[in-house]
Copies of this chain bind each other. A is one copy, B any other.
């Protein structure tokens, strides 16, 4: 899936495309009716299998043969081995299988036999028309949250958003305008423990992904363990890095020409997790540090939306400290 990872575009839209919103907003009437799946009468028959683990000969053959034996037709397959000798194996397979929802349990059993018992791989099987459930955590900035909600409504991101949680109240009206529940959970460094406990009560079991959309609070290791789903964060980036406070002012003082943003999985070290996506925007000498910050905000929302869109299509596979983005 080449062009979905294209850098420096005006467009954060992923290539593969989603099913239409169950109840399309009237305003989407004029938007292009799009995406293979919703044009495809067989969309309920499209499955995605992602497999990762230790590389060895024969995995592709065994997986594709198993799928064939179940009557599946592979329509898109990406496979990558990080190293011909003892590297890691990652494969994303999109296939069409009549009655997928019905036969899925049997397919899961057989995949478990092959991938768990025989090959000891990590794997997931998803149905293309089952949208990911994505919770958004935010603070006061609207740019990342609204970009995600808008693209979700336009059918550009294959997700539902069961909730937006914020430690402030300023985004409530905008979020609810999209018909999305907004929960206000005040939280600061002193009340982090109980705040995160309340967040976990809302999130646990209800979401497949948590997105930090300029959520300006530290996430505890304990939260990461308990939430049980991946957490994606966005932050600004520069060449070179400007460490510490007021990075935009420092960048301005060096005459920096590019302002960037990085979307990454959150690990114990908040800004050091595996990188999913990055992009930059160009700035000039005539722009103030405040202009740079506003530019940065625009790159942030584009990069975060790309990362979330790809993740929702099962295109982003974490591999230790790095990622495979098909």
Q: Which residues of B contact A302 (CB under 8 A)?
A: 10-11
Q: Which residues of B contact A15 (CB under 8 A)?
A: 283-284, 286-287, 291
SS of A interface (majority): mixed
Copies in the complex: 4
A322 and B140 within 8 A (CB)? no
Chain B minimum-CB-distance residue to A66: B61
A239 within 8 A of B: yes
Q: Which residues of B contact A154 (CB under 8 A)?
A: 142-143
Q: Quick one: which of B7, B34, B91, B143 contacts A293, CB cutoff 8 A?
A: B34
B13 and A295 within 8 A (CB)? yes
Q: Which residues of B contact A52 (CB under 8 A)?
A: none
A interface size (C-beta, 8 A): 122
Chain B minimum-CB-distance residue to A289: B34
B321 and A254 within 8 A (CB)? yes
Chain B minimum-CB-distance residue to A280: B280
Q: Quick one: which of B10, B79, B299 contacts A76, CB cutoff 8 A?
A: B79
A168 within 8 A of B: yes
Contact stretch, chosen from A104-112, A201-209, A256-264: A256-264
Min CB–CB distance A118 → chain B (angstroms): 14
A284 and B170 within 8 A (CB)? no
How far, in whole Å, are A286 and B143 apart by their CA atoms in the complex?
30
Q: Which residues of B contact A142 (CB under 8 A)?
A: 27-28, 30-31, 154
Q: Which residues of B contact A189 (CB under 8 A)?
A: none
Among A214, A262, A278: residue with most chain B CB under 10 A: A278
Assess A13 versus B298: contact at CB under 8 Å? Given A30-B140, A173-B26.
yes
Q: Besides the contacts A8-B280, A12-B298, A61-B68, what 20 more A-B pairs have beta carbons closer than 8 Å?
A: A1-B284, A2-B4, A3-B7, A3-B283, A3-B284, A5-B6, A5-B257, A6-B7, A7-B9, A9-B281, A28-B142, A34-B288, A34-B291, A42-B84, A59-B74, A142-B154, A143-B154, A177-B177, A253-B321, A255-B321
Question: Top 9 A-B pairs ranked by shortest CB distance?
Answer: A30-B140, A3-B284, A10-B302, A255-B322, A237-B239, A34-B290, A11-B298, A7-B282, A6-B282
Can you report 10 residue pairs joining A to B where beta carbons are below 8 Å apart?
A: A3-B284, A7-B9, A7-B281, A11-B281, A31-B143, A32-B297, A34-B291, A57-B74, A61-B64, A253-B321
